[in-house]
Amino acid sequence: MLNLFMQAAPAKSGGFGDPLLLIMVSIFLIFYFLVIRPQNKRLKDHKAKLSAVVRGDQVITSGGLVGKVIKVTDEFLTVDLGNNMKVKVVKSMLSDVVDKTVAANDSGKDKKK
């Protein structure tokens, strides 16, 4: 008897009109615009800020140390914390650049002669 009812019932199509699919897509879009997109923008801005660090900038590390950058390499910074205490910091572990200074003339060439 159950077999007769199942044969008589029309098959449900899982097309675009399916309300569950519509709800899932709308939840994903809301999640994308409220969470994923702003986080990616913040990450991109932070990477740009880290790549622009030059000698003389005052930085904050992720550990909370505040100091002045005295040497910059590709992956590491040497930071002066005061009282002639120097630490080597991984560039990706910087939290913020507090005081941005004008880039120093590291090339050794004078601009004016």
Model pLDDT for residues 57-104, shown as the tens digit of each residue: 999 999 999 999 999 998 999 999 999 899 999 999 999 998 776 555
What's the confidence (pLDDT) of residue 57?
92
* Contact criterion met (CB below 8 Å) for 79 and 69: yes
The pTM (predicted TM-score) of the whole model is: 0.62
Helix (H) or strand (E) holding 66: strand 66-72
Whether 75 is covered by a domain: the verdict is: yes
Task: Answer whether residue 85 is part of any domain.
Answer: yes
Nearby residues of 16 by Cβ (< 8 Å), 6 or more positions away: 22
What is the identity of the amino acid at 98? V
Which run of H or E residues covers position 45?
helix 37-51
With 70 as the cut, is the pLDDT of residue 108 above it? no
Could you tell me the CATH number of the domain that includes residue 87?
2.30.30
Domain count, the chain: 1
In a domain, 80, yes or no: yes
Q: Show Cβ contacts of residue 81 under 8 Å, excluding neighbours closer than 6 positions.
A: 65, 66, 67, 87
Whether the pLDDT of residue 35 is over 80: the answer is yes
Lowest model confidence (mean pLDDT) among 1-15, 29-43, 56-70, 89-103: 1-15
Percentage of the chain beyond pLDDT 90 is 58
